[in-house]
Amino acid sequence: MSDDAVRRIDALIGVGMRLARSAPSGRVLLAVLGRVLEPAWIPQPWGDEIVAELGAARGAACEPIKLQRIERVLRAAWGVAPTAVLDELDPEPVATTPTSQVHRAVLEGRPVAVKVLRPGLAASVRQDLLLVERLLGPLAAAFPAIDASGLVAEFRERVLDELDLEHESMTQRRFHRALAHHSFLTVPAPVTRLAREDVLVSEWVDGVPLAQARDRDGAAARLLVFMVGAARFGTVPADPDPADVLLAPDGRLAVLDFGAARTVDRERVGVAAAALEAFARRDPDALARALNELRWLPADHGMLALDLIADALGDLARPGPARLDSDAVLAVRDRLFERPDALTELILAGGLPPEDLWPARGLLQLFGSIARIGATAPWLELTRAALRDGWSAEVRSPP
């Protein structure tokens, strides 16, 4: 990467880090990033500073919420004592994240999961989001072809959606209904009558976390089909975390978290599918047309994009099974940085329309999550099938 590009990105990261240190919600955002990034993946010269900040933020943001505060939130949400609604509430949390805490409970004789937003977090984030405007200048300088103000506005809107658990409940309900009879995917049903802005209740799901699955390859492949296939459904989850994915006793993959999600334009999904097909055929002209229509890259950069991406991804972008793990991510990163001129040219020419910000986040976190646990599958073929056929895509374990 050229020295000028490094300076621009360095300035952007510097401003972002200063904002994160000065705003409580910034620490939460860093903690969320720390869940999906391996420290070794972050390139120099930014690696050491970012890794230190991520670690400190995660330690501070994941402090358990005391049971008394959880009970106060539930009382305020429902207008009565939690014991008037729930048969039981386990005092020990089953999950504590930077944004929420989950407890097992019993409702009308059936086990449920009760998710509670961290008290005061939504109000703090609403105030802190005003500071994001300070990123406009460095963001536009680092990536001159993007709509910086549009991206910042999109970021603000999606983050506020993510902190509204009633909104999440409605999203989860749509996914539950759509996958009610699916052969290998499932989503727990939310109890919508108990959903509030800071409370979400849904049916309890037993299962083995993705990282502990006996057939990790098959489980990771099913997660890819769920995530990418959701584009055909019309709503894309944007925060896949292995901790929120369970292999249920009946063999289905259960996805638990829908806080980060965005509706997508199905026509754009079709154009994205055409771009992937063109890439798979190594057809630079068709790829250039699709990328230009999506406003991701001018048409005259199609050949360079095809060459650089295919070279960087290596086996991951070829037919047949490939290993996706931390070593594979490091290899992709290093191959990209071995071609600084081409990388810089694409960074300066490329854009990301605001409506694609959350889908792009979801896709990057998907492959990052899979890489953290390590799995082997025909990734290119699976992605093509899921983008083309949605949740009907066939999943086969690699030989």
Pick the most confident of 29-38, 93-102, 152-161, 300-309. 300-309
pLDDT band, very low/low/confident/very high, at 26 (cuts 50, 70, 90):
low
Between 69 and 27, the higher pLDDT residue: 69
pLDDT tens profile 174-221: 999 999 999 999 999 999 999 999 999 999 999 999 989 999 999 999
Which of 128, 164, 239, 241 is catalytic? The answer is: 239
pLDDT band, very low/low/confident/very high, at 102 (cuts 50, 70, 90):
very high
pLDDT at residue 298 greater than cutoff 90: yes
pLDDT at position 344, please?
87
- In the DSSP assignment, the letter for residue 288 is H
pLDDT at position 392, please?
92
Q: How large is the average pLDDT for residues 29-51?
A: 63
DSSP 197-236: TTEEEEE----EEGGG-TTHHHHHHHHHHHHHHHHHHTEE
pLDDT at residue 279 greater than cutoff 60: yes
pLDDT at residue 159 greater than cutoff 80: yes
Selection from 228, 185, 181 nearest residue 207 by Cα: 185
pLDDT at position 239, please?
86
Strand 199-203 and strand 110-117: the pairing is antiparallel
pLDDT exceeding 70 applies to what percent of the chain?
A: 84
Q: How large is the average pLDDT for residues 103-130?
A: 90
pLDDT at position 311, please?
96
pLDDT band, very low/low/confident/very high, at 358 (cuts 50, 70, 90):
very high
pTM of the model: 0.89
pLDDT at residue 2 greater than cutoff 60: no
- The CA-atom distances, in angstroms, between 354 and each of 152, 167, 295, 350, 358 are 8, 21, 11, 13, 8
Check if 10 is active-site: no
pLDDT at residue 381 greater than cutoff 90: yes
- In the DSSP assignment, the letter for residue 84 is G
At position 205, the amino acid (one-letter code) is V
Least confident of 7-16, 148-157, 352-361: 7-16
pLDDT band, very low/low/confident/very high, at 272 (cuts 50, 70, 90):
very high
pLDDT at residue 268 greater than cutoff 70: yes
Neighbours of 87 (CB within 10 A): 13
pLDDT at position 138, please?
76
For residues 347 and 358, give the distance between their C-alpha atoms in angstroms, rounded to a whole number.
19
Between 153 and 78, the higher pLDDT residue: 78
Instruction: Tell me if 242 sits within 8 A of 365, measured CB to CB.
Output: no
pLDDT tens profile 312-339: 999 999 999 999 999 999 999 999 989 9
Domains, the chain, with CATH or none: 1-62 (no CATH), 63-96+99-204 (3.30.200), 207-399 (no CATH)
pLDDT at position 292, please?
96
Burial per residue of 202-240, b for 16 or more beta-carbon CB atoms within 10 angstroms, e otherwise: bebbebeebeebeebbbbbbbbbbbbbbbbbbebbbbbb
pLDDT at residue 283 greater than cutoff 90: yes
Alpha helices in the chain (DSSP H): 3-22, 24-36, 47-61, 67-78, 121-128, 136-142, 148-162, 165-178, 216-233, 266-281, 284-294, 302-313, 326-337, 340-349, 357-373, 379-389
